[in-house]
Amino acid sequence: MKKTTKTILSVTGAIAGAAAAAGGFELWSRSKFGRSGVATAMEGALRATGFRNVVLGQDLGRYDDFIEKSRVANEQEYHIPSWLRLRSLVFDETSHGMKVYHVGTTGKNEHAVLYLHGGGYVSQITPAHWRFVDKLCQETGAEIVVPIYPLAPEHDYDESYTQLTTVYENLCKRYGADAITLMGDSAGGGLALGLAESLPQYNLEQPANLVLISPELDLSMRNPKIRDYFDADPVLAPWGMAQMGDLWADGDEIENFRLSPINGDVSALRNVLLLAGTREIYYPDCARLAQKLITAGVRSDMVIGEGMNHDWPLLPIPEARKARRRIAECVLRKVN
């Protein structure tokens, strides 16, 4: 009996010690970064992947290998991983050679989202994207349309814009622009903004909402304030992102608003929700865009993720749930 009691006390003590350590880490993380301990641990995990070393350009061989592997993977027909379990209904179609996924619920969809995934214009959609899309679909009841758009280095922006404009136009015919949210993260966020800025030339109405998650807004990466965020960002680096941008541009001037949408005309946009973290290199350009929207008189809101990393609304951290609720509210907002 004494031995059993001793064992129980030992186990209880170990659990209490672990809880105290976890609590201490949480307090330290909140004090130092203004974020949850889970978010701080996630930043460590992101650094451990070593991806930043690829885009830093410290090893050109690794960068070239990454691009070549991406090229080979992108030219194969895409399939959602079989091990990935999604709660929403999913079906796909092929339009003009581009696969388009439709993610929905069992009820009648009153809202639609055209979602453009990130990946530096060279990487394919990831399980993290699909989990985000699935949760957003469950929380809003909206149909979420996910194009597997052409990627560099085999393809360029012009080809993708042509196909995505057609997808958007067809979606407008089904739902009407007032029920559509155009959304993208990272490179997909930049593409979403560029697509919205290009709609007037096709006489297409703006979507009700435009949601930009950590968008890549300027392929030149020349904003001098970026250097202040370089060490804090565990994933992205200016050199590598600029190189990938050049592949996407395929020789065209990167100042073109369809490549660097920070240079475009935002006056026609309707409702813009911009989310950016203070520990990512895209933050300075996002702040510039926020000011540009205000100056143009566009209804907009910038959600600043204090202590957050790139694409934090897609990460498995507590702060992502709050961000996703904010995005869901935007999708379901009634347009006056």
Question: pLDDT tens-digit profile of 286-299?
Answer: 999 999 999 999 99
Distances in Å between the alpha carbon of 192 and those of 44, 277, 317, 321? Answer: 30, 19, 25, 22
- What is the pLDDT, as a whole number, of residue 327? 98
- Residue 336 banded pLDDT, cuts 50, 70, 90: low
State how far the Cα of 148 lies from the Cα of 6, in Å rounded to an integer. Answer: 59
Instruction: Answer whether residue 7 shows pLDDT above 80.
Output: no
Dump pLDDT digits (tens) for 107-134: 678 999 999 999 999 999 999 999 999 9
Structure tokens at 127: 């399980």
pTM of the predicted model as reported, rounded to 2 decimal places: 0.93
State how far the Cα of 304 lies from the Cα of 277, in Å rounded to an integer. Answer: 6
The CATH number fitting domain 37-331, selected from 3.30.300.20, 3.40.50.1820, 3.30.390.50, 3.40.50.1000: 3.40.50.1820
State how far the Cα of 97 lies from the Cα of 49, in Å rounded to an integer. Answer: 33
State how far the Cα of 73 lies from the Cα of 212, in Å rounded to an integer. Answer: 26
Phi, psi at 65, each rounded to 5°: -65, -40
38-41 LR contacts (CB < 8 Å, sep 24+): 38/316, 38/317, 38/318, 39/307, 39/308, 39/309, 39/312, 39/315, 39/317, 39/318, 39/319
